[in-house]
Amino acid sequence: MIGSFRSPQALFLALLAAFDAQAQPGDTPAQVDRIIRPMQPVWLLEQPFANNPLLTARTFGDSAYGEYHVKATLQISCHSQTHGASVTLQIAPRSLGFHSDPFEGPDAAANGPMHITMGNRPTLELRVSGFWTSAGAFQVGSIFAIQTHIPRDELAYLASDASRNQPLKLSLVPAKAGAKPLTAEFSLPQSNDGLKQVIQPCL
């Protein structure tokens, strides 16, 4: 099911977070670097739904399936009512040649697991759910989201200084035996202040 359309407020928050994330201590407004570079990932903050206080933080990376490589996004959300956090890998299945149907919906035939490795920490093995959605204020069209809940210990690590600039790798076990795994790689941003704002209620 396609997610709700993003409001102008979502676009404003995303732009504001991108600008603020580039500022370094001691910068004056005229010195702030407002350019997002491929080698300088940031956390973009977004309020996806106009009448919902939910905030999300997303960053960008790469996904791969076989010989195909396509940009991907990683989204982290905190659901304050349940005090649970989720991590979502957002991909373009058609561009990857990836068959997403087995992972789609509550009655999906496949649910992973997905292996998640952050820095030098032990690899997590988590079950996932998949669905089609829109992917934020800058997204045109729809993408496929692969989502799982993230343990609080790992959430605390993401909010710590130790996570900065660390690699985050994901590998989804294929639905069909012998098939290739879907993988994705991200570099966690140097500044995690925006992420901490999003996940603080879940810590």
Measured CA to CA, the distance from residue 134 to residue 144 in angstroms comes to: 8
Measured CA to CA, the distance from residue 174 to residue 15 in angstroms comes to: 36
Quick: pLDDT tens for 161-191: 999 999 999 999 999 988 999 999 999 999 9
Instruction: Report whether pLDDT(197) > 60.
Output: yes
Of the candidates 88, 103, 106, which has an alpha carbon nearest to the alpha carbon of residue 48? 88
Tokens standing for residue 196 = 């901490």
Find the helix or strand (DSSP H, E) in which 10 lies: helix 8-22
For 197, residues 6+ apart whose C-beta sits below 8 A from its C-beta are: 45, 55, 57
- The answer to whether 166 touches 182, Cβ cutoff 8 Å, is no
Domain boundaries, the chain: 8-23+42-202
Quick: pLDDT tens for 40-89: 899 999 987 778 778 899 999 999 999 999 999 999 999 877 779 999 99
Q: What is the pTM (predicted TM-score) of this model?
A: 0.81
Q: Which residues pair with 168 in a beta bridge?
A: 118, 186
